[in-house]
Amino acid sequence: MNNKPDLELALIQTTLAWHDPAANREHFQTLLEQARGADLVILPEMFTTGFSMESAELAEPEDGPSSVWLREQAQRIGAVICGSLIIQAADGSYRNRLLWARPDGSFAYYDKRHLFRMASEHKHYSAGDQRVVFDLKGWRVRPLICYDLRFPVWSRDAGGTDLLLYTANWPGARRQHWNRLLPARAIENLCYVAAVNRVGEDGKGHGYTGDSQVLDFQGEALLTAGEGDGVFRTRLSHDALSTYRECFPAHLDADAFTFD
């Protein structure tokens, strides 16, 4: 019998100040106040800088000001908060790293696996090699970052993941791809999908049209933010997910994959 509680999500879709971590932290602090009561708050990719290839100039250490700030905010509003930023890892490499900050002050992370070649991200950052799953109130949450969306094998965790989470700076020029690939990930994995994008224009003149959304296990939209700026909320039912998987257990016939 399923006894996992519902999960309250808050997605923050907004503009980002280009290369200005302090300004972005101040902006998000106001928006986070509106997210109180959520279990999980999701921020965009590189939420402190915008999607930048200036890794050496912008990287913060693992215990830098944005990491400390994120943990403080999680404690302040009593929710898990996640989003990616530019980190210089202990080994000296630069990472597009999603931080998962918990209210108790602890945190975990996921390093972006697929680096966006068309922007030369692979020349400025090191790719992650670990698939991670975070537990939140008994829910299994898989974090992924932007370009990872295009690679279904990396997203695959048939029957194990309850919620696939994508944080992104996905440009408006490829808006159609975003809106088609997200439902596919939900349907093929029989799980919820939550995806957060940004809006506005970055310092390179690239425009972003948002389309942050939450989808159920059949790819149906539970929440769509359109091009809005602000905090968008919805609630997920694990009972509904379990019932669907019992009635349509396609995950039992899925192929197994291993990674080097």
Active-site annotation, residues: 45, 112, 146
**Cβ atoms of residues 12 and 35 within 8 Å:** yes
**Cβ atoms of residues 88 and 60 within 8 Å:** yes
In this structure, which amino acid lies at residue 205?
A: G
Alpha carbon dihedral 68, 231, 226, 143, in 10-degree steps, equals 40
User: In Å, how far are 20, 39, 40, 218, 232 from 51, measured between CA atoms?
Assistant: 12, 26, 23, 31, 22
- 212: how many CB neighbours lie within 10 A of its CB? 28
